[in-house]
Every structure is written in structure tokens, then in C-alpha cells.
Amino acid sequence: MPNPRLASRYAKSLLDLAVEQNSVDDTLADIKYLEGLCKQSTDFTNMLRSPVINSDKKHSIISAVVGDSLSKLTVAFIKLLVNKGREENLPEIAGAFISRYKEMKNIKSVKLTTAIPASDSLREAIMAKVKVALPDAEIEMKEEVNPDLIGGFVLQMDDKLFDASIRRDINDVRAQFNKNVYVMELR
């Protein structure tokens, strides 16, 4: 069961420890690897969430899956999670860790959705506008193609959404026609 408060606390503790040990980048790489593993493998996630599998078996399965690819800090953290019975929250903790890392490094995520793949000139123009709005932040842009937009683009930044798509324009025109503002009343 997702528990954002628990995930945030464990993520904060791991990040603080990684900063203290000067291994933030290694820990971030490990956490991104684990997050990707949880997203790709439902079997791995189901194993983490299974109450039937005991903690010793989970330790051995995790060790077999990740091998020696993780740092000592991350391995110790995973062991702590399993020993405390919190391993089912690993995907949420990974997401919270990445969010806290981005907050610490002042990295802002921007999502650009277009009807067709964005051209370099459009991408550069949008990045220039975003950098004006967020001068001190490092910008991380994710791109998505959604043909339902018909044309234009949608830019999502934090909790703000800038919709300059043809789909929105059509919906606005449709809403105006549905109001029937221009129909005269007959007496």
C-alpha cells in the first residue's frame, strides 16, 4: 500500500546519508536502477510486496537480481528496508529520493507534448523561455508525442500547464457554440 509519508522519510534519510558519505551520484544511479527494475519487472515488485516470502529469501533474491552493481550504502539501505518490513515501499521510496535529489540540486522537470516530434528550433525556443522563467534552475526536458493534440504543443512545468494546442482551440470554439451566445430570442 503506497505510503508517501514513509517514502519521503526514508528517501530523506538515504539522501542525507549519501551527502554525508559523499556518494550522492552513486546512490542516485543505484536508486534509478532500482526504480527502473521495479517498473520493468512486475515479478520483482510482486516479490517485494509478497507477505508469503520471508525476509531471508527476499535478501537472497534481491542479491541475485542486482548482483554487485549497487554501492555498499544502497545495499545496506535495502537490507534495512527488508529487515524493517518496508521493502514493499521501495518503488515509492525511489521516486521520493529522486524528487528530493532534484529539489536539492534545483533541477526542474519540464514535459513537452507535441502532435509530431518537436523540431530543434521549437525545442530551443521553449527551453529559452523556460530558462527566462527559471533562471537559476537546471532544466530537464522530457518529450512526448500525442497525435490527439492535432498541432501546437502542451508544456507542463511543476504544477503549471501551458496549452497551445489545436485541440484546446477546437474545444474552446465548441464550448462557445454550445453556449449559443449569438442566438437571438424570438418573441
167 and 154 together in one domain? yes
* Residue-number span of the structural domain to which 119 is assigned: 106-179
In whole angstroms, what separates CA 53 from the centre of its chain?
29
Does one domain contain both 113 and 39?
no
The backbone torsions φ and ψ at residue 25, rounded to the nearest 5 degrees and listed phi first, read: -65, -40
pLDDT, tens digit, 9 for 90 and up, residues 3-12: 999 999 999 9
**Residue 164: which of 110, 103, 91, 112 has the closest Cα?**
112
Helix (H, G, I), strand (E, B) or coil at 152: strand
Instruction: Using the 3D structure, point to which of 77, 103, 129 is the last residue of a domain.
Output: 103
Q: Is 183 helix (H, G, I), strand (E, B) or coil?
A: coil
Supply the Cα-derived Rg of the chain in whole angstroms. 23
Q: Cell numbers of 171, please?
A: 474545444
Taking only the tens place, the pLDDT of each residue in 99-149 is: 999 999 999 999 999 999 999 999 999 999 999 999 999 999 999 999 999
Residues 73 and 145 in one domain: no
Confidence of residue 186 (pLDDT cuts 50, 70, 90): low
Q: 129 and 161 share a domain?
A: yes
Helix-helix angle 72-84:24-40, to 10 degrees: 50
pLDDT of 95 over the 70 cut: yes
pLDDT given for residue 50 in this prediction: 94
Residues 90 and 155 in one domain: no
Q: What is the dihedral of CA 108, 77, 14, 22, to 10 degrees?
A: -90
Split into its structural domains, the chain has a count of 2
- Whether 20 and 94 share a structural domain: yes
Question: Hey, CA dihedral for 101, 103, 106, 107, is it positive or negative?
Answer: positive
pLDDT in tens, 46-93: 999 999 999 999 999 999 999 889 999 999 999 999 999 999 999 999
pLDDT-derived band at 171, boundaries 50, 70, 90: very high
CATH label of the domain that carries residue 99: 1.10.520.20
Does residue 129 lie within any of the structural domains? yes
Question: What is the model's pLDDT at position 5?
Answer: 96
Residue 184: predicted pLDDT: 59
Q: Is residue 40 part of a domain?
A: yes
Last residue of a domain, one of 103, 123, 150: 103
Q: Are residues 80 and 138 in the same domain?
A: no
Which residues are CB-neighbours of 104 under 8 A, at least 6 positions away?
15
Residue 187, in any domain of the structure: no
The structure's pTM equals 0.83
Q: Which of 103, 127, 158 is the last residue of a domain?
A: 103
pLDDT at 32: 97
